[in-house]
Amino acid sequence: MRRNIIIILTFVGGLYYFLEFVLPGETGISKLIVEIGKVTLAIGACAFLLGVINLLKLHGTKVVLRRPGWHN
């Protein structure tokens, strides 16, 4: 179920940008491109931050305390 949701959301996102590229001139969805870009940027920034936090949480203690395997 979760995999299907991810596939559907990815497809819809790709379809949106494909239609924005293919459709001529000013269309109804062209007005939303700036807002969708802002939302995409915010989601990407949050995902990046969560990734950094996750890495620090998982490996930070090993590096600070120099436990065996900290450099691998």
Residue 71 falls within a domain, yes or no? no
pLDDT value at residue 28: 66
CA distances in angstroms from 47 to 11, 13, 29, 55, listed in the order given: 19, 17, 26, 12
Domain containing 45 equals: 2-65
Residue 69, pLDDT above cutoff 80: no
Q: Which two tokens stand for residue 63?
A: 């590096």
Residue 52 falls within a domain, yes or no? yes
Structure confidence by residue, pLDDT tens digits, 12-39: 888 877 887 787 766 666 677 778 778 8
pLDDT tier at 52 (50, 70, 90 boundaries)? very high
Residue 72 falls within a domain, yes or no? no
Residue 70 falls within a domain, yes or no? no
When the pLDDT of each residue in the chain is averaged and rounded to a whole number, the result is 82
Residue 49, pLDDT above cutoff 90: yes
